[in-house]
Structure 1
């Protein structure tokens, strides 16, 4: 009886050890599937997609619902009038630090009508920031700016959201009414049915991985 008890206990330990050794395997398999999706299927998925390619720059402006509209308030001006390229570094904007906690609204610019101008200037050093970033705004004339709300109503800008592709949302690649591809025409060139980045030929999958090709949800 005593030997039988020891024998059963050893079997139990062996069984526990076997179960622990098996646990990591599903995790390794999951990572492998994800990597395979990223590297081997992206070109095919994008090439087979129905989405249109939109050559546009991506812009952004800050937004805080608690800021009351006031054309004389610099804080509101930097939300309701002025905007930046999405990739502009924060320190180049010379804004107070609390702007970093605000919502950032992304948009693209459509055709600007003849009676409205798109103006830009360099941000001066301020608030301990180096400045140097390019600040944009619309205006009717030298004394009458166009608010971003007006620009939106006039269809000069369209708000967008960046969509990160994963295994669960690939259906967006066939929904051209609500989604599109975005490429920056100043960075990515398209010639003879090929894409180029910095003068080098590049695949669609590589562009996507480098965030030079974005999937956007549009209004």
Structure 2
């Protein structure tokens, strides 16, 4: 079955071409760009909200992008049960749009961090992770200054109750440690899904870990998991 992937482009997006390359040239998917002023998504199997600095991160990350016309289409797309993946700034936009719970704060040490980190698969009961074993460690890059995920105690309990925590920061052996949680995120959270299971937001960049030349190809099993769940492989 043909794979149809859409990558949204906002003013200030800088990871849109990374996502496009990963989908079209590595995963061999039929991939197209969606402009922030578009009002329809069309016949797509997956929408990716990529990283970058949408609208220059004015006010706060994702705060302006959430009002783009395309985001109304994304809301409708999600309500129909279709999957949306938000990466880095895309995660921030999904939070601002209310498609995922919580908020992003500046990194704990108030420094922009760009490096490879390890994340652990916390559950494999979503379409995004069903092809990976729980406890699997992925080595993927991060590149953010506001990746300190926050949610209050009640919200955290709700995430745990509904098994919405997809990834946690960990060391190379899969241990969740304070040192591995470099940005200070609550409960070392690196990615979450919505209760319906069709929206995932994550700060790390799996689309930048698709080829050994880049230092890791651990993004491939992640996207294979998505495609297999959607019967697109």
Q: What TM-score do the two structures reach when normalised by structure 1?
A: 0.23
Q: Name whichever structure is richer in helix by fraction.
A: 1
- Considering only CA atoms, is the larger Rg found in Structure 1 or Structure 2? 1
Q: What TM-score do the two structures reach when normalised by structure 2?
A: 0.22
